[in-house]
Amino acid sequence: MRSDMTGAEIVVQALTDLGVEVIFGYPGGAVLPIYDALFQQGRIRHILVRHEQAAVHAAEGYARASGKPGVVLVTSGPGATNAVTGITDAMMDSIPIVVLTGQVATHLIGTDAFQECDTIGITRHCSKHNYLVKDAARLGPVLHEAFYIASSGRPGPVVIDIPKDIQIQRARYERPGTVTHKTYKPQLKGDRAAIEAAVEMLAAAERPILYTGGGIINSGPVASQLLRELAKLTGAPVTSTLMGLGTMPHEHPQFLGMLGMHGSYEANMAMNRADLMVCLGARFDDRVTGRLDAFSPNSKKIHVDIDRSSINKTVRVDLGIVGDVGSVIEDMIKVWRARGRRAVDLGGWWRDIAAWRARDCFRVEQTGPALLPQHAIRTLYAATRDRKPIITTEVGQHQMWAAQFFGFDAPNKWLTSGGLGTMGYGLPAAIGAQLAHPGALCIDIAGEASIQMNIQELGTATQYRLPVKIFVVNNEYMGMVRQWQELNHGSRYAESYSDSLPDFVKLAEAYGWKGIVIEGPDDLDAGIAAMLAHDGPVLVDCRVAKLANCFPMIPSGAAHTDMILEGDSVPGTTDEDAQALV
């Protein structure tokens, strides 16, 4: 306990008491008192990014890799507005971060002062909660409460807007005891009767499927182990959303892979034909469900989620269970065992699944001189799997290929922008993950268009000597945009070709990185080996087939049974066009 501290000193002391080790930020006039207080202490490390959006993405990467809330510090006006994309990204993907924004002095609020904006109004609908602090004595309680809100229940971003005069105002700070919120009290334990009903439904099902999402990862590593135990007990197949990859080992015989728009044939067909679907920590995103009236049409549905508002929000379910998904799965296992339940004979169900698996929907043969992007990522996985890397991505075709061809066996190894689909996410997220795990191999699988959204963060990695690797899958197109234009707009590639690309090798070298170019299949193994052998940051320009498309694919608004597989005749193209796709 200390009395007579400045607001800025209170901020730093509260962050220290909360166990914060790293802050990502960019200074400006409205936060200079806090930066001065940071300068005079030695426990919290500040990482100077090159853009405020990147600060938030780096905090997201840090949070997802470490399991601790990420912290951001930016100035008022453009500092706050530049952070909005990252805040929204964290909101959509349920990532715990606390964003501190500077604000003009309280007597200037509302006067259109220099670098003033309505940060509270702007972030009201893209943050879990936000505060405008007008009394330095409130800073300590607000900071502690913000961390509680960000990391409790369904995680998310919390914004604290701090006027400059409050940062120099003096007040008393006392470290609080147990922190709660008078109205926000997330329900962690699921209703016992509902859990017992769910167990009975699982035990009676003949074609069950467990549909898992990022909520299992947010629940902690134990939740993933419990999921594997539940799958073993029930014998049910398991599928995952993009955000849930890693909850089940990718080669586990019960794992059907990712489902949804670019998911596996077997996962989507099993979801369509199931008689019981158990949704565990997922939110029925439109990229997963496809056409809602055709989504798992003949199944009874159970939804387990810590966010009460998610249940029956998109898909009507037969049984909703509010609670932490790890806790609910643990109770389901206990009830299953206590009642001596055994899975019914699922032999017929697994024979159906085996037939769908036999389609081998991800089969891609590397032939000819053009390097297929799928083969490049598959080879990268084979070369790195023993090192258990942390993979981040940008957004686009390369993101989906990474989800399809890079195997994940544990949670918190796959960091991507799911709900918002934010280009420019991957590099700063890899920086955040590298800071959380300095000894880990952190690779950003990128596209040549997405990487340019926050490419200035090459300087951040150089400054802090972070050995981040970037593997650019370079097809010279905004590939997913081009693919949709091909399928839906008569191959009219309006502004989707990435003209005037930089020389990525020279650009990397200009920032102090090692640059490597892979021209084709013959260079692939050596290029990856050289990337892994270098103990500093590396950017690989991997030049791939320009017109490769990402399959399987469910066309927008279609049902799971309407999947287009590699080699199928593609609607909207001629047979000659289809041949040119690879």
H-helix or E-strand spanning residue 560:
none
**114, 174, 232, 313: which one is catalytic?**
114
Backbone angles phi, psi at 74, to 5 degrees: -140, 165
How far, in Å, CA of 8 to CA of 303, rounded?
44
* 406 included as an active-site residue: no
The identity of residue 23, as a single letter, is I
The span from the CA of 322 to the CA of 42, in Å, is: 42
Give SS3 for 105.
coil
Block residue for tokens 């697994």: 350
**By three-state DSSP, how is residue 238 classified?**
strand
- Tell me, yes or no, if 52 is annotated catalytic: yes
CA distances from 143 to 13, 17, 158, 229, 367 (A): 10, 10, 10, 38, 57
Rg (CA), the chain: 25
* CA-closest candidate to residue 508, choices 519, 520, 516, 500: 516
Q: What is the dihedral of CA 8, 11, 15, 16, to 10 degrees?
A: 50
Alpha helices, H only, 277-425: 286-289, 325-338, 347-357, 373-384, 397-405
Q: What gap in Å lies between CA 402 and CA 303, rounded to an integer?
A: 28
Query: Which residues, at least 6 apart from 351, have a Cβ–Cβ distance to it below 8 Å?
Result: none
Active site residue: 9, 52, 145, 476, which one?
A: 52
Measured in whole angstroms, how far is the alpha carbon of residue 309 from the centre of its chain?
Answer: 21
Exposed, middle or buried by CB within 10 Å (0-12, 13-18, 19+), for 557? exposed
Q: Find the catalytic residue in 243, 480, 553, 563.
A: 480
Comparing CA positions, the residue from 330, 326, 334 lying closest to residue 223 is: 326
Active site residue 114: yes
φ, ψ of residue 124 to 5 degrees: the values are -55, -40
Q: Which of 164, 301, 413, 469 is catalytic?
A: 164
571: number of Cβ within 10 Å: 11
Q: Is the peptide bond before 537 cis (omega within 30 degrees of 0)?
A: no
Among the listed residues 496, 493, 414, the one whose alpha carbon sits nearest the alpha carbon of residue 450: 496
Contact criterion met (CB below 8 Å) for 447 and 482: no
Nearest-CA neighbor of 163 among 143, 139, 192, 193? 139
**Rounded alpha-carbon distances, angstroms, from residue 181 to 144, 150, 185, 190, 469:** 10, 12, 7, 21, 41
Percent helix, strand and coil across the chain, each to the nearest 5: 45, 15, 40
Q: What is the dihedral of CA 72, 73, 76, 80, to 10 degrees?
A: -10
Q: In what side-by-side order are the strands of the sheet with 390-393?
A: 414-415, 390-393, 442-447, 469-474, 538-543, 514-518
Q: Among all residues, which ones are annotated catalytic?
A: 52, 114-115, 164, 480
